[in-house]
Amino acid sequence: MASPAPTHSEPTSLLARVLDSDVFYSYRKSPVTVVASIVLAGLILAAVLAPLIAPYNPFDPSSLNLMDGYTAPLSDSMMGNYFVLGTDHQGRDVLSTILYGSRVSLFVGISATLFAMVLGVTLGLFAGYRGKTTDAIIMRIADIQLTFPAILIALLIFGFARGIIPPAQQESAAVWVLIFAIGLSNWAQFARTVRGATMVERQKEYVAAARIMGVHPVMILVKHILPNVTGPVLVIATIGLALAIIEEATLSFLGVGVPPTQPSLGTLIRIGQQFLFSGEWWILFFPAVTLVLLALSVNLLGDWLRDALNPRLRQ
């Protein structure tokens, strides 16, 4: 270890403890991960700050001019406006639509993953702790669901919801339906892992001690068992986030995702695909690259996290 050993006599700050940890050491030693995390941080920052840093507001019809349409990257339009990444057929600045689009993609992806995580962890803890019939029912459902691809389940839930929600509210509800559909299609992974870990932890003495002291089972699960299963959950959540982002993009690409008034990266790619044959490559290319960068960096982080948190691989 290159860093100086901390003085153990006095309490070190949180930052110092983080910088000195094994996990941070393995992070520093993996250049790919460092690059991936910087790229991801940049993308997230750009998405969050989109309203501030986007050169144009692509969803304000009054600022759009069809005469700006089909402007190539790094050039002036017929109206004399400059566009770094060019414009699409409606004269919308591609850079701005990407910034707003990744906002939608990230929002849906993160919300859906959080939803899947809360649902899966809760059911997993419950199944692992209660065992018997509860366990059998929950895990059978998870088994059945895991045999079907997540995208198919999300599609079905989406179609289902579309038939139930009245047409007037469909547009405003679409994002939430999407989050619900993607989240519900990904909970089983969490439930499976947490259930396994809970069954192991449940046998340990500290749980028995807590039980003897009369701690309520819910408190045992939340305060004692949950902290011990966070590692694997974090890994699944990271990889799940990459899957959720791709799933959202796919659904939007298929035309059943977010409404066209609120395009995500998938919607932008769907729009761009129409111009593949006519030579306006930038309408498709830049959103696609953004999506790939986003998915790849999250995936790489997840891969690293899985190795870093696995004590068997640490040498």
Partner 1 sequence: MLAFILRRLGQSVLVMLVVALIAFIMFRYVGDPIASMVGQEASSADREALRQQLGLNDPFYEQFFRFITNALQGQFGISYRLQQPVTELILSRLPATIELAFTSALLALVFGVGFGVFAALRPKTISTAAIMTGSLIGVSLPTFLIGIALIYVFAVELQWLPSFGRGQTVQIGWWRTGLLTESGLRSLILPAITLSLFQMTLIMRLVRAEMLEVLRTDYIKFAKARGLSSRAINFGHALKNTLVPVITITGLQLGSVIAFAIITETVFQWPGVGSLFINSVAVVDVPVMAAYLMFIAFVFVVINLTVDILYYVVDPRLRVSGPARGH
Q: Which residues bind partner 1 (CB under 8 A)?
A: 143-144, 146-149, 151-152, 155-156, 158-160, 162-164, 242, 246, 249-250, 253-256, 269, 273, 276-277, 281, 284, 288, 291-292, 295-296, 299-300, 303
- To the nearest whole angstrom, how small is the minimum distance from the Cβ of residue 245 to partner 1? 9
Q: Cα angle at 31 between 305 and 243, to 5 degrees?
A: 40
- 193 vs 299, beta carbon nearer partner 1: 299
- 94 vs 155, beta carbon nearer partner 1: 155
Q: How does DSSP classify residue 21?
A: S
- 225 vs 243, beta carbon nearer partner 1: 243
Question: What's the rounded Cα separation, in Å, for the pair 101 and 265?
Answer: 5
> Buried (b) or exposed (e) across 109-127, using 16+ Cβ within 10 A?
bbbbbbbbbebbbbbbbbb
Question: Which residue from 296, 288, 238 is spatially nearest to 101, judged by alpha carbons?
Answer: 288
- 51 vs 149, beta carbon nearer partner 1: 149
Q: Exposed/middle/buried for 66, CB within 10 Å: 0-12, 13-18, 19+? A: exposed
Backbone angles phi, psi at 76, to 5 degrees: -85, 145
Residue position matching structure tokens 């969490």: 190
- To the nearest whole angstrom, how small is the minimum distance from the Cβ of residue 117 to partner 1? 21
Backbone angles phi, psi at 10, to 5 degrees: -105, 150
- To the nearest whole angstrom, how small is the minimum distance from the Cβ of residue 256 to partner 1? 5
- To the nearest whole angstrom, how small is the minimum distance from the Cβ of residue 269 to partner 1? 7
- 119 vs 256, beta carbon nearer partner 1: 256
- To the nearest whole angstrom, how small is the minimum distance from the Cβ of residue 1 to partner 1? 28
- 22 vs 143, beta carbon nearer partner 1: 143
Quote the tokens at residue 247: 């799933």
Do 93 and 87 contact (CB within 8 A), yes or no?
A: yes
Question: What's the rounded Cα separation, in Å, for the pair 294 and 241?
Answer: 10
Determine which helix (DSSP H) or strand (DSSP E) holds 94, and give its type and residue range: helix 94-130
- To the nearest whole angstrom, how small is the minimum distance from the Cβ of residue 172 to partner 1? 18
- To the nearest whole angstrom, how small is the minimum distance from the Cβ of residue 236 to partner 1? 15
- 2 vs 164, beta carbon nearer partner 1: 164
